[in-house]
Amino acid sequence: MPLLGVNIDHVATVRQARRTNEPDPVHAAVLAELGGADSITVHLREDRRHIQDRDVRLVKEICRVRLNLEMAVSDEITKIALSVRPDQVTLVPERREEVTTEGGLDVITHFQRIRQCIDQLQGAGILASLFIDPDVIQIEKARELGVEAVELHTGAYAEAKTPEQVEIEFDKLREAGQFAIAQGLKLNVGHGLTYRNVRRVAEIQSVHELNIGHSIVSQAILVGFERAVREMKQLVTL
């Protein structure tokens, strides 16, 4: 049965919109754990647009489920990872202008830098995963690097506009997933998964973990909105 990793970055996005202390992503991590999350994911970006250093430290200290730290191949963030020691690091590409992680990591172009980074992380006992497109050549390179897992980018499937395109992207994902498994890699998937499109991805054979963030945070705002207004109304009209 596949596991669910919950990405809490966008709880921090709401907090950072006001540079205040609510909502605290650490509280969200605890609630995610109570809701059955098998792991918590945070992406500590170099520009610190959502998750902050203290969030990573506190989630690691407080949560009992695994912590998966997403990060760019960066000396600064690697130092933080070596100090916090998450259970797993997922290396992702990062560009300052992007709204979110737009494509997979190019393992071929950045092979040597990635190797240096994962050598340090694995040396400290941290599992290494690479966020890559569902592409056989990228998966082969990932295996060559000796990582424990890959996370296949589900964005092309999630964003496909026509039913035909959805099928094409889903087949690519499934075939790449089976190739990754055949290479002895643990298969994680994520990006753009929603309550509508997640089911068939969860049914892909041997998927280890699905990492989902934006859709869960969006749903939480809506399912919690009415109650939140009721509570405020009660205070105002006392």
* Footprint of ligand PXP (CB under 6 A): 7, 9, 43, 70, 90, 92, 100-101, 131, 151, 190-193, 211-215
Secondary structure of the chain: what % helix, strand, coil (to 5)? 50, 20, 35
Given the residues 10, 50, 153, 191, select the one marked as catalytic: 191
Annotated catalytic residue, options 70, 94, 169, 209: 70
Cα 66 versus chain centre, distance: 12
Of 58 and 193, CB closest to ligand PXP: 193
* Shortest Å, Cβ 50 to ligand PXP: 9
Q: Write a three-state SS string for 172-187.
A: HHHHHHHHHHHCCCEE
Residue 71 CB, nearest approach to ligand PXP (Å): 10
Annotation marks residue 148 as catalytic? no
Minimum CB–partner distance for residue 234 and ligand PXP (Å)? 33
Report the residue number, 92 or 231, with the smaller CB distance to ligand PXP: 92
In the chain, the amino acid numbered 232 is M
- For the bound state, the minimum distance from the C-beta of residue 70 to ligand PXP, rounded and expressed in Å, comes to 5
Residues 6 or more apart in contact with residue 139 via CB below 8 angstroms: 132, 150, 176, 179, 180, 183, 185
Tokens for 136, please give them. 């056989």
Q: Give me the catalytic one of 10, 43, 153, 208.
A: 43
Residue with smaller CB distance to ligand PXP, 43 or 143? 43
Backbone angles phi, psi at 3, to 5 degrees: -100, 160
Nearer to ligand PXP, 12 or 84 (CB): 12
- Give the contacts of 149 (CB within 8 A, at least 6 positions apart): 88, 90, 127, 128, 129, 130, 185, 186, 187, 188, 208
The verdict on whether 50 is a catalytic residue reads no
Is 43 a known active-site residue?
A: yes
Tell me which residues are annotated as active site. 43, 70, 191
